[in-house]
Each structure stands twice: as C-alpha cells, then as structure tokens.
Amino acid sequence: MGKAGKALKRVLETYGISQNHLAVTMGTGRPNIHRWVNEIRDPVADTVLEIRDALKKINPVAAQEFIKLYLEDSTENDEQL
C-alpha cells in the first residue's frame, strides 16, 4: 500500500504544492489528501487520474512527475516478485 501516496508526497514537496491547494483543485477535502500522502489509504485508480488532472491544472510538470513516479514504483515492485 502507498505507492500513489509516496509519489504524491514527493511531487507535492518537490514542487511546493500544498495539500490544501490540491484538495481545492480536486474539489475534495484536505483530509483525503492527508490520508493518501501519509499512506493511510491508497486512492482508487479513478482518483489517481483525478490527482493527475488536478496537478496538470496546478503544474503540468508535477503531473508528469507524479505519473512517472507512480508507474516506476509499480514496475520496480513487479520486478521484485
């Protein structure tokens, strides 16, 4: 659990995007962002796409980095199996 959260946390920190800014852009509550970033709960697949779309509105490069990190993490986990 947590691959999307790890990617999101890194992107938010790297690009200086607040959890609140992302929440407002997504139209969700900040507690949801907090749960994902702190790996309490993983977002479902549709929500990962919503995160990407919101990040695109804030910073398109951050959105690309989020997806890259998310997919790289998946590939590394597959290789370890």
CATH of the domain at 37: 1.10.260
Q: In which domain, by residue range, is 75 found?
A: 3-80
Total domains, the chain: 1
Per-residue pLDDT of the chain (81 residues; tens, 9 = 90+): 578 999 999 999 999 999 999 999 999 999 999 999 999 999 999 999 999 999 999 999 999 999 999 998 454 554 554
What pLDDT is attached to residue 74? 54
Instruction: Give the integer Cα–Cα distance in Å for 45 and 51.
Output: 10
Whole-prediction pTM: 0.85
Q: How far, CA to CA in Å, does 7 sit from each of 14, 36, 37, 73?
A: 11, 10, 8, 8
